[in-house]
Structure 1
Amino acid sequence: MNAAINVKHLLLIWEQFRAATDITPIRDEAHCARMTEMLQALLDETQGKEKHPAMGLVDIVGDLIEGYEAKHHPLPEVMGVQALKFLMEQHGLKQSDLSEIGSQGVVSEILTGKRELNIRQVRALSERFGVSAATFV
């Protein structure tokens, strides 16, 4: 049998938690930056361990950031090389900055359509930019 929820107690705990963490729907760019910093700290703490007690917070903070970004900085509906070019522009990257996918020559061939991304490169780009691997396929 479920115990009745003590809303007054819940609100007291929520206010303490919110005051300590500022975990609320993201209001502006500065708040988004703080939540992104918190997410990185949580990810460092959890080290990818799904059963870590902080993984619930990782999910909540990640969802808040994703919602804010989707509303305020939507990615255009592009795929493959167009997405890569867009992300490079948004992050101020040059071809030489993408050493994880190959030399500047390899990156140039990919961007001009002379070469296709392989699965290793797709995974590396997905991880680097925090987007689905499907973005680059």
Structure 2
Amino acid sequence: MKRRQAVGNLPLMAQTWAQLQAQAHLRPIRSVADYRQMVRLADVLADNLDEGDHANPLMSLFDIVTDLIELWESQYVEIPDAEPREVLRHLMAEHGLRQKDLLDVASQTLLSDILSGRRAISKTVAKKLAERFQVDAAVFL
């Protein structure tokens, strides 16, 4: 009984949530389209909030939206539809890495040969790259 009182009026909460959803589309980000929509919402909120104005009730909404965006960005890596060596080049650029930063994956000579197209990425190196960049090894094969 006490647990129900702590939550409040659930039907009213559902109705209020539905109204907020209709306006802000606030939900977990599960796709690139969701991500883009959430970024647009964050931009609109940022344009209408004064920094440090924690009395504004929209500041909490802005905090939630930016947290969702940061979570998506930390977990999602956009992989271009390209040759494996170009995918590697893209991921290195995205992470600000050079060949010497991947010595735990392969030698600098091997990485140079891969990036120049002289050698293909082996299954072993693909697995190590996948682990390093948190992506499916298939993007390197």
Per the normalisation by structure 2, the TM-score is 0.50
Q: Does the Cα contact within 8 Å between 1:122 and 1:136 map onto a contact in 2?
A: yes
Q: Does the Cα contact within 8 Å between 1:100 and 1:121 map onto a contact in 2?
A: no
The one-letter amino acid paired with 2:125 is: Q
Which of residues 36, 49, 70 is equivalent to 1:33?
A: 70
Shift of 1:35: 6.2
Does residue 100 (structure 1) correspond to residue 104 (structure 2)? The answer is yes
Counterpart-to-counterpart distance in 1, 2:130 and 2:10: 44
Identify if the C-alpha distance between structure 1 residues 34 and 79 changes in structure 2 by more than 3 Å, giving closer, same or farther.
same
The one-letter amino acid paired with 2:10 is: K
Identity %: 31
Specify the alignment match of 2:115 in structure 1: 111
Written as runs of structure 1 = structure 2, the 5 A alignment for 1:1-137 is 8=10, 24-26=27-29, 27-28=38-39, 30-31=66-67, 32-34=69-71, 66=76, 74-137=78-141
Per the normalisation by structure 1, the TM-score is 0.51
What stretches of structure 2 of length at least 5 have no aligned partner? 1-8, 18-25, 30-37, 43-65
Counterpart-to-counterpart distance in 1, 2:85 and 2:126: 11
The one-letter amino acid paired with 1:25 is: P
- Map Cα deviations across residues 54-80 of structure 1 (whole Å, 9 max, x no partner): xxxxxxxxxxx54xx6xxxx4321231
Q: Does the Cα contact within 8 Å between 1:95 and 1:104 map onto a contact in 2?
A: yes
Counterpart-to-counterpart distance in 1, 2:79 and 2:139: 10
Counterpart-to-counterpart distance in 1, 2:90 and 2:107: 19
Q: How many matched pairs?
A: 88
Counterpart-to-counterpart distance in 2, 1:35 and 1:110: 30
Counterpart-to-counterpart distance in 2, 1:131 and 1:79: 15
- Rg (Cα) greater in structure: 2
Counterpart-to-counterpart distance in 1, 2:105 and 2:120: 11
- Map Cα deviations across residues 67-123 of structure 1 (whole Å, 9 max, x no partner): xx6xxxx43212310100111111111010111222211110111112221111101
The one-letter amino acid paired with 1:33 is: E
Identify if the C-alpha distance between structure 1 residues 35 and 76 changes in structure 2 by more than 3 Å, giving closer, same or farther.
closer
